Chains A and B, each alone.
Chain A
Amino acid sequence: MGAILAVLFAVSVAAAAVNGRMEALTGAVVQSAQQAVALALGLAGVMALWLGLMKVAEEAGLVGLLARAARPLLRRLFPEVPPDHPAMGAMLMNLSANLLGLGNAATPFGLEAMRRLEELKPAPGPASDAQALFCAMNTASLQLVPATVIALRAAAGSRAPAEIIGATLLATSCSIVVAVAAAKGLRRLYPGPPAQGGPADRPPPSPPGGAGGGASPC
């Protein structure tokens, strides 16, 4: 992100020099910074309303209800995780909290799920299939109400800030389907840890550096 910003700043200054717009550029710098704060403050009201409601929902046990409803589905997605293993519970809570848009509240469940999935691995090392799938699902941003975007639209004076809920739900469903399909379909291309649940007496997997070059940017 830092490199991108630096390049953007430099490109802008160069373009302003070529176009003879240096004064306009100076004005834009100051004005944009002020707009950023105004934008964030405009968000505050709707965000507060929404996170307040979500906290109420959480304490009323809605997260737990959602988690129970999702159990059969998760069993099929993660056949290698025993259904009554604590990892399953943590993943359910995480996905339910994400669905409700709890964001920050979802993260602790997610980290707990990763820790429990790690326990299922015979040895530390590359991500297991379950860990990779769980992470990919998390990056697909499945949520019922995109509260932040709605808040932004309201702050910008939209006539119908919430009208994008249905469209967002459709689009994010596509992205989560692709996330699951890709995580399942691509697993053979990336050498993983030794087979899960198997005894540890088999030889260790081939040394790293095989087809797993895709992980380099991280």
Chain B
Amino acid sequence: MLRHALELASAWAVPLLVAGIPLFALARKVKVYPAFVEGAKQGFETAVRIMPPLVAVLVALGMLRASGALDLAARALGPLTGRLGIPAPVLPLLLVRPLSGGGALGVVGDVLRSEGPDSYAGRLASVMAGSTETTFYVLAVYMGAVGITRYRQALPAALLADLAGFAASVLVVRALFS
């Protein structure tokens, strides 16, 4: 039941938004085309902006794989994390996600390419990345903007939320896609 509803939502979300947003905007007398073009420009800027962090992370991951270090780590940690439902290629995401958005994208891209986007690992990495944030960056920007250096419960709460996001991703992906 829930599974069916979520499949339906996933299938319809993008088409409905693509058709619905411009129609809604037209009804509101918004100049749709210029607005779209202006927003789309940001898309390219984003792609260019994430290139440097992507280079750093993908080179690091490529080196880890080619050197055999990843195999070693996977053999050491595999039995433990495998039982938790986290395949070895997804492991780096848990470390990188709270620290760097571009870095996390790099890990996800790496998993999607090496394991396939429609594999369990590929879906899990996608959901994990989509349901968590670059915690340290967000806190630094928001708190720093008003000169706060003592974050109080914000940091533990944010990290617990990341942990919950990771755990929930495993449960949800297992329940929905297997």
Q: How far is the CB of B70 from chain A (nearest CB, A)?
A: 9
Instruction: Enumerate chain B residues within 8 angstroms of A123, measured Cβ to Cβ.
Output: none
Contact at B157–A126, with CB atoms within 8 Å? no
A186 at interface, CB cutoff 8 A:
yes
Interface string of A81-102 (1 = CB under 8 A from B): 0000000000000000000000
- Given A33-B58, A136-B154, A175-B131, residue A114 in contact with residue B13 (CB < 8 A): no
The docked-state distance in angstroms from the alpha carbon of A139 to that of B177 is: 26
Which secondary structure dominates chain B's binding surface?
A: helix
Contact A144 to B13, CB < 8 A, known contacts A138-B142, A172-B131 = yes
* Contact of B80 with A by CB under 8 A: no
Is A4 at the interface (CB under 8 A from chain B)? yes
Residue of B46, B51, B96, B133 near A139 (CB, 8 A) is B133
B151, A127: Cβ atoms closer than 8 Å: yes
- The reply to whether A166 and B36 form a contact with Cβ atoms under 8 Å apart is no
Chain B interface bracket (under 10, 10 to 19, 20 to 34, 35 or more): 35 or more
**Residue in B6, B35, B63, B65 whose CB lies within 8 Å of A56:** B35
Contact A157 B6 (CB under 8 A): no
Q: Taking chain A's interface residues, is the majority helix, strand, or loop, or is none over half, making it mixed?
A: helix
Contact across chains for B47 and A41 when beta carbons are under 8 A apart: yes
Q: Nearest-CB distance from A44 to chain B (Å)?
A: 4
CB distance from A139 to the nearest CB of B (A): 4
Are B21 and A62 neighbours in the complex by a CB distance under 8 Å? Answer: yes
A59 to B145, CA, bound (A): 26
Task: Report the minimal beta-carbon distance from A180 to chain B, rounded to whole angstroms.
Answer: 8
Which residues of B lie under 8 Å from residue A168 when comparing CB positions?
126-127, 130-131
Q: Is B1 an interface residue (CB 8 A)?
A: no
Residue of B nearest to A134 (CB): B142
Tell me the bound Cα distance from A50 to B129 in angstroms.
18
Top 4 closest pairs, chain A to chain B, by CB: A55-B39, A48-B43, A32-B62, A166-B6
A–B complex contacts, Cβ < 8 Å, 10 sampled: A11-B64, A13-B63, A21-B66, A49-B43, A56-B25, A58-B39, A135-B143, A164-B130, A165-B9, A214-B153
